[in-house]
Chain A
């Protein structure tokens, strides 16, 4: 317990903040209510500091399979989380607060949603951090669900528009289906290996592979869990909800959806795959064939489908939704490649680094969209105020001239997402390529290359529309939102992209260290300490 607590302090911090926010969000005083986003942000900062401070020793690390991953993952979650909370600030309570201030409405705690909204967000991030620290399947499942459940509600209440409700319902039902699928998979893994502890599962799988291969139940369990977790990262075939939900939710919530569930899914995948181990296949450094093939098919379908569909979109949110599918596909390449000795050979550090870069640049891009709102707020049928953000790509025509801050932020973030050389997106994508090559997955890398080229089509629209076009009528219908934090997030996103470009080396080093301690090499002395029961020389299949 005590040793677990040692690395759970970030989660505890967030949880306490959640409690505080939930209660004070219902305070009758507007000044006190306004503290909610501030407390959320501060608690995230504190959690980040705790995360950096906790360096799980190998003794602790034996609990999870990637002890080094904890501080890194939690720190990036906290960092991007702060950006997102700045973006979320005021999303749902703006109309309410304005009406309360104007005296149109009386204070009614039952109808007020300001506190809950932030509390849900913090709950979700608590779940996300817990995912990183998971050491058993039960923990993993609970953490994943703690991450997702609040997001369903957040989508639903994010705007007064009915499309948000529709999106919320879709997301909830499909999310439940996804959860059911991977829960079923987890159950089968338990059936096949006799344990829910990842370390023990790893041991059992090593034994099974040393014998006559994985037994049917374990294999089925692994395949089904990976497919189910595919829902969190929006991978084919679990991607259907993405575009509708992203479009339906208010943009700040969309920005959150692009980062939080995806990160949870990838952390879970990393944990699951490291429980399987990259010691098999022809090279002896790959996942077992069946699982590799599954991830392979998922990766190819996901990135291709995401990119091809993104080209056709005129709605920026749908475009970014499909592009987020495509980015998941890219990252799956890293999962297939597995860890390696150097940064360029390690697909896992590539994924961890990519999560950070994707988080910053996509949040920046969404923040630009969120900063543009219609000149007039409308009332919905139920009488609530709805502030509509920009969605059509027409809205950003000539933005670099009309609103230089937003325009340039969009240009920088889009260039980075495209992977333009000398942006951090490029540094993020490069190790995915190199690790793929190092793992001998040349065809996959070629598909990845082709897809990066396809992606240029639609990302360059996000660059050229603000930069080179004249503002049209449609663009004139939007003003910069009075909520100051949103343009600030856009700027921070762009500056973050530039700063991470400059500090790419150290950040890559951190991402590499996050993987190194355990997964360096199975026969390295460190690994032996961490896994005393593990056989020193894993036997390749066949």
Chain B
């Protein structure tokens, strides 16, 4: 039995102190919050708030890169100040102390880099996208935007669970504010409320998890928690196969934290808020609801992986829920017509992959997918946003066609193509490498039905490829046809001022091609999404650059220790010994593969998966091309769509009966929730209201009646209120003095 690196880390690698300039990373966005507030107070009607935000976020990004260059590979904390200290003793569990401190290790650095980087780019994009709102909601938008980045950085960088919780609530609040940005639009308000309420359920889980952590481990600080003898003891126990020795409480912590993660990261059954959240402005969807905030749940699990590992149930549940979510969301995504909604469901689906990845004990795969997904999904959303911006809010893929051939839309189209290729997992894209890592691990990690999950995920990968390219083929290829949206009715976030130059009365509509800033951001993101694939080649023996990064953090330390730990989950416990597939040079990893005899067809699972998943992905694309491709794409067989609104899939769908309609209606999950949750609650609230009315009214009457009765009895002839008060006061003094003196003397 090898020594767990985590155990070793506890002895040797202390937690260092990061230099104070690291504090600039979260506080620069805070500065932006303050400055935009000042703009709001001074009723600034210019674009100043946008430039303030962009400047501060860019500064934050630069500092993050500096931190990456100087601090990566170490674990450091930096404390701004002691947040509060409510100790009531010196013992364990009596020191309720939290610092406003930040924990800089490779895991948090990874998140910090893509959060600040993407936030900067998207802020630039938004500065153009939100132009129509200058002087109205512009400042409010950037205020919430900067506040979001601050909260997200608190969440990611906090060196204790309380700060994470604060950031967690903060991002939830900003998400609520930004989804409901167009507060005059009823759907936006409803969506904001829905997001808020659904998230509350998850947050409750997180809150309980955090409390239990404190109760059980007596600390909330990561550094102390991970190095605590208690947790190390549990991990050792699990490694030695004594999983039963871990107390129930410690196992429950992971379960509650998991519920929190499911809420924030939109996993089944709490995923329903995310698609509705698309009512917010598109840059918000790109940043918050695709790239960053929704990965908070993954960060939580990756960060707390040592705690998750000692729980028998948490990770298997995560695996199942992640897979179910991935499949369910993909099926819904296939039947939607709103391109932004398709992207939303694909986000839910991809998040499912990442959760499954973490649960399959490949934190590298999960986190790698987080990073690559952040880039290409942000790119996809921003492209959708550009389309929406240009076509007055039109998002229906049946009403758009041939954008590739239109003037000024080439960058958007290329960006979209790159995003789609990544999402579909076409070989040699970043999405391909990260997804494969998860898929391969599904087949080799022992667990309850994990190979079944692997097949489901593979199938889902095919479906993903199909719906992704369905969007691309329909909107960007084929004949140039389009219908403008109804944005001038104020149904969406821009163009109320006739920004898109439509003139419906005469049937003329001129699409509004994106400007320099949007194009620049799209181009940058496209390049980054392409380059992201290179991350894999940086350090292939450790599963790419992300694996390299994670090796230094708690998420990975456990990963290398995991396979022996995971052995406890194997029901039969049968071991074949190491096969030694050592092509990547991570011996312990593959020794573990051998331990459960999980190679596929006698080959290294990762290698096999490269081929298998490529086949699934390309098949999906082919089907999409057959059904939705434009006439003359390859030959008469592939493609053949000549109109925006009609395709070969219509015939297939007709044969499938009601299933496509059910999928389009999201399998009626919302209606189901409404039926089993909202209705009964409403009935209950009516009952409570009645009780409330009777009880409170009764009380009111009682309280109204009593003083009058007392007054009449005690003070006959008193008419002035003032006299009454004075008498009561003097009397009260007398009575209390009398009682006190009588009792004590």
Contact = CB atoms under 8 A, between A and B. Distances in A.
B85 interface: yes
B696 interface: yes
Contact of B83 (A224, A430, A502): A502
A294 interface: yes
B20 interface: no
A344 B729 contact: no
Contacts, number: 112
B722 A174 contact: yes
Nearest to B169: A422
Interface stretch (B366-374, B403-411, B488-496, B737-745): B737-745
Contacts of B140: 404
A502 B739 CA distance: 44
Nearest to B184: A401
Contacts of B17: none
Contact of A297 (B722, B728, B739, B745): B739
A161 to B, nearest CB: 17
B732 A237 contact: yes
B84 A293 contact: no
A238 B733 contact: yes
Contact of B740 (A177, A223, A437): A223
Contact of A240 (B37, B189, B725): B725
A342 interface: yes
A483 to B, nearest CB: 14
A174 B166 contact: no
Given A173-B726, A502-B100, 8 more contacts: A227-B736, A227-B737, A241-B725, A294-B736, A344-B87, A434-B88, A437-B88, A506-B82
Nearest to A298: B736
Nearest to B166: A422
A503 B730 CA distance: 43
A236 B728 CA distance: 10
19 contacts: A170-B722, A173-B722, A178-B729, A223-B737, A240-B729, A241-B725, A290-B740, A290-B744, A294-B740, A297-B739, A298-B736, A311-B699, A312-B699, A343-B85, A344-B88, A468-B193, A488-B41, A503-B81, A505-B82
A345 B94 CA distance: 13
Contacts of A240: 725, 728-729
Nearest to A488: B41
Interface string A44-67: 000000000000000000000000
B733 A312 contact: no
Nearest to B85: A505
A342 B100 CA distance: 21
B713 to A, nearest CB: 18
B217 interface: no
A293 B743 CA distance: 9
A484 to B, nearest CB: 8
B2 interface: no
A127 interface: no
Contacts of A401: 183, 189
Dominant SS among interface residues on chain A: helix
Interface string B655-698: 00000000000000000000000000000000000000000100
Interface in A162-179: 169-170, 173-174, 177-178
B649 interface: no
Contact of A224 (B41, B721, B737, B744): B737
A348 interface: no
Contacts of A293: 740, 743-744
A378 interface: no
> Which of A228, A505, A506, A509 has most B Cβ within 10 Å?
A505
A502 B740 CA distance: 42
A294 B739 CA distance: 9
Contact of B86 (A170, A290, A344): A344
A181 B733 contact: yes
A247 to B, nearest CB: 13
Contacts of B81: 503, 505-506
A431 interface: yes
A514 interface: no
Interface string B140-174: 10000000000000000000001001100100000
Contacts of B37: 491, 495
Contacts of B728: 237, 240
A508 interface: yes
Contacts of A344: 86-88
Given A223-B740, A240-B725, A290-B744, A430 B86 contact: yes
A236 B100 CA distance: 40
A186 interface: no
Given A401-B189, A422-B165, A508 B84 contact: yes
Interface of B: 37, 41, 81-88, 99-100, 140, 162, 165-166, 169, 183, 189, 193, 696, 699-700, 703, 721-722, 725-726, 728-733, 735-737, 739-741, 743-745
Interface string A511-532: 0000000000000000000000
A289 interface: yes
A309 interface: yes
B726 A297 contact: no
Given A223-B737, A488-B41, A169 B722 contact: yes
Contacts of A174: 722, 725-726, 729
B97 to A, nearest CB: 9
A177 B699 contact: no
Contacts of B183: 401, 404
Contacts of B700: 312
A231 B726 CA distance: 12
A438 interface: yes
A427 interface: yes
A427 B84 contact: yes
Contacts of B745: 290
Given A293-B744, A488-B41, A237 B722 contact: no
Interface string A229-255: 001000011101100100000000000
B733 A431 contact: no
A54 B739 CA distance: 44
A456 interface: no
B87 A312 contact: no
A298 B737 CA distance: 11
A236 B733 contact: no
A210 interface: no
A508 B165 CA distance: 21
A73 B154 CA distance: 32
Contacts of A173: 722, 726
Given A237-B736, A488-B41, A503-B81, A177 B86 contact: no
Q: Give the 9 A-B residue pairs with the shortest CB-CB distance, closest first.
A: A237-B732, A505-B82, A240-B725, A504-B84, A290-B744, A505-B84, A294-B740, A505-B83, A344-B88
A298 B703 CA distance: 21
Contact of A309 (B162, B703, B739, B743): B703
Contacts of A290: 740-741, 744-745
Contacts of A297: 736, 739-740
A47 B524 CA distance: 54
Interface in A198-239: 223-224, 227-228, 231, 236-238
Nearest to B207: A421
Interface string A283-301: 0000001100110011000
A268 to B, nearest CB: 17
Contacts of B699: 311-312
A405 to B, nearest CB: 8
A504 B736 contact: no
Interface string A128-159: 00000000000000000000000000000000
A404 B81 CA distance: 31
A170 B735 CA distance: 22
Interface string A461-481: 000000010000000000000
Contacts of A430: 86
B725 A170 contact: yes
A438 B41 contact: no
A441 B711 CA distance: 34
